Structure 1
Amino acid sequence: MTPKQKHNLQIIVRFTAFWTLFGSLYGIVEYGILGDSNIYPSTNNVYGGKSQIVYVVFGAALLGIIVGCMEVFIFKNLFVKKPFAFKVFFKSAFYSFLIFLFLVVLGAVFTSHRLNKPIIDAAVIQSQMRFVSNFAFTSIFIYIGFAFFLSFFIFEMSKSMGIMVVYNFIMGKYHKPSIEERVFMFMDMKSSTTIAEQLGHVKYYELLNKYYADMSDAILNTQGEIYQYVGDEIIISWPKSVGIKNNNCLNCFFEIKDNINLKSNEYFNAFSLVPQFKAGLHCGPVTTGEIGQLKKEIVFTGDVLNTTSRIQMLCNEYNAQLLISQQLLDLLKPNDTYNVQTIGEIQLRGRDRKINISKVTK
């Protein structure tokens, strides 16, 4: 299974887990209120007691799988350019309508099973009509609508901030600063100032939006994490073990390059240019922790970030698209796919010690 497939599976699993939890809570609360009663007092419909919890949990889990699959395979790119609020409210309303149909059908199947009669039997239909027209159904519908809203709010927030950022905030992983080894890649668009002047602010924003979107698959496939967007620069990071595994950090750069080149006609037709970029790679220890009071953010601090930035700035000087520190190169196992050209010891601006760097091509 590729990292991208794992990512899609994780989305489906998260929706399934969320709805299984909500279904379980609803089933338990309902049983706590009705106990061993055989009917719903408000509708006189049949109530199944403990067995009802199984039906509710199974139905909720199935719903989570369906919603997760629809988000991955149908709605993934459909609302990319829509505002956050629109996506949350529209999806909540859309799925709430679907759940209305789902509840009616599921209720009919359950009632048919309990009454041991066909689903089109008059007694089953009347039971469903009583259920739908009763406030009990309205209250369930409100509960489910809220669950949809909450699930999509969390889902869209995780996409905006990054799922690992949201997870780390919730789990409090970086509530106290910690030191970890990470790999960083600073990637910068070439001639961005000139391009911005040629295209204008709005068109340049559209270029950046597409440019970053077209990097997504490569970053996913190499298990990278987007740390920051800084104008036309993107900072990608990996835990050290992940970044060096299978040359992930190297593969990421060249996979991005291949993806942009494959879409060169799209860029030229839309912007009359194909973006070119350069990058620097380095690794080392960083201090990671939450910072800020009015707005919290997980930040990395350490010399490795400054060094990586300085390495990237040397790309033009050495006519290189990708420069890498010897410290990181020693941890990698570049195969015949890559050509490594040693540049030697370089004095970086703002550093006392020199650093060995190499130029990497494919």
Structure 2
Amino acid sequence: MAVCSLQAAVAAVPPEQAASALFGSGQVETMVSEAHGLTAQGRFQEAAGRLEQARKLAPQASGPLSALAHTLYSASLDADSADVAKLRAQAESYARAALERFDGDPLAQEILRRLAGDNERSSYQPSREAAQAFVEGEVFFHKRKMDEARAKYREAQRADPGYASAWLMEGDTYFVEKNWVAAELLFRKAAETDPLHPQAWRFLADALIHLGDRRGAENALYKAIEAVPNQRQGWERLAVLAAAGGRPLAALNLKRGASVDFDEKNGKSELTLSSEFSGTTASSDADHAIWLAYAFKQANMRSAAHKAGRKARPFELELASWKAALAMAEGGGDQAKMPLRPELRKLKAIHDAGQLEAAIFTLMFSEAYRSEFEAWKNANPGAQRRFIEQFRLMP
């Protein structure tokens, strides 16, 4: 069951300024925590009932809604195939409703990321004994019985020392108790156990902030982003530190102006341009031309791969499509050919600086790019951080 890994992804205590938006009151926070414990045990209906009570007590809070999304998504992982689509549609609806109330709700963000098909790389599969102890620890954690939770997390560690989430969650028990030193040690152990565990690095950053180590926290957040670049929580924390240091990050906010639907059966593509381009032509509108070139390149590459009896690799497809698109903006000083959208202008500057690969891995990441991303990081140590520090951009 993947429930445990998802709960570990979001179980850190929220910052005080977010707690009000998430829960509204301590009573609601307790009810949501109890529901998470029920979800960990697979008692989904009971969890949903508790969360419905929490919703009535705090109708404007996001936490009960995102927790409902979490419960429904978790239920979908064990459901019969006929029920999966319905459960996930409901989970998406609740997650979006949560973000309407508080757009910083980390659990709602993560549920939507996973529903979009962008799950993290293959989740670590702990031993059966470790997984069972971890679930029991989750139940105690959400009942705020930290000594009992620690005992279970340690049992999971002994059963499977490579299970990073067990080290992470023991650290979180200390974080709840404001024992920043113990939390920092265990979060660091989790990160060392699995360097691609973004929550381990993010939780480590939280502990280091409390310990007054701003530089260490920043380093940990860059590691969180290197692990999973499209997980928002790490970016949001890094943005706060960057702003405090006088070098803020700006969101790229890429709004895609074209899409390509490819039918693997007949090898045909259907191109769709954004409605904003209605009434314009590629010759009269540079942005129109850029997105049209992007879509045509995708369609042509997919068609060629289909004829060759294979599928185009997603990163290869994205990189080639952006190269073709941004070539349309080669104006040679002719401003009429330069894009109007600010995000396209920024991407043109990045392309001209020879940093297009870094931009795709950092600002448009998909788990489908994982193998190329890991190879790129190994060949270019520190390149992602240098890219961020040079262009001051986030997704």
TM-score between the two structures when normalised by the length of structure 2: 0.21
With a CA cutoff of 8 Å and minimum separation of 6, indicate the structure with the bigger relative contact order.
1
TM-score between the two structures when normalised by the length of structure 1: 0.22
Write 1 or 2 for the structure with the bigger share of helix.
Answer: 2
Write 1 or 2 for the structure with the bigger share of strand.
Answer: 1
